[in-house]
Amino acid sequence: MMKVYSKQQLALRNGQDKPEIWVAYLGVIYDVTQSKMWRNGKHYEHWAGQDLTEEFEDAPHNTKVFEKFTVIGQLG
């Protein structure tokens, strides 16, 4: 059973308020802290600590990009 986090808890993992950098996609929260592409919680025009599901369709990469990141839990 995966731990469930609220949108408020996810929002704190934005690379500014807490050291972790997390993003959500399709209800799953991923830890992108180690990614060079998410330095300071920003990835191009996207900010960490939020659900990127709706924004993802404009991304130049596919969902396989999430396979390299650790799953933290579910977005509740």
Amino acid at 70: T
CB atoms within 10 A of CB 44: 8
Beta carbons of 10 and 24 less than 8 angstroms apart: yes
Please give the average per-residue pLDDT across 27-51, as a whole number.
95
Q: How does DSSP classify residue 61?
A: S
* Higher per-residue confidence, 61 vs 9: 9
When the pLDDT of each residue in the chain is averaged and rounded to a whole number, the result is 94
Residue 48 clears pLDDT 90, i.e. is over it = yes
Q: Name the pTM for this structure.
A: 0.93
Tell me how far apart the alpha carbons of residues 42 and 48 are, in angstroms, rounded to a whole number.
6
Q: In the chain, what are the domain boundaries?
A: 4-75
Residue 70 clears pLDDT 90, i.e. is over it = yes
Q: Choose the CATH number for 4-75 among 3.10.120.10, 3.40.50.720, 3.80.30.20, 3.40.50.620.
A: 3.10.120.10
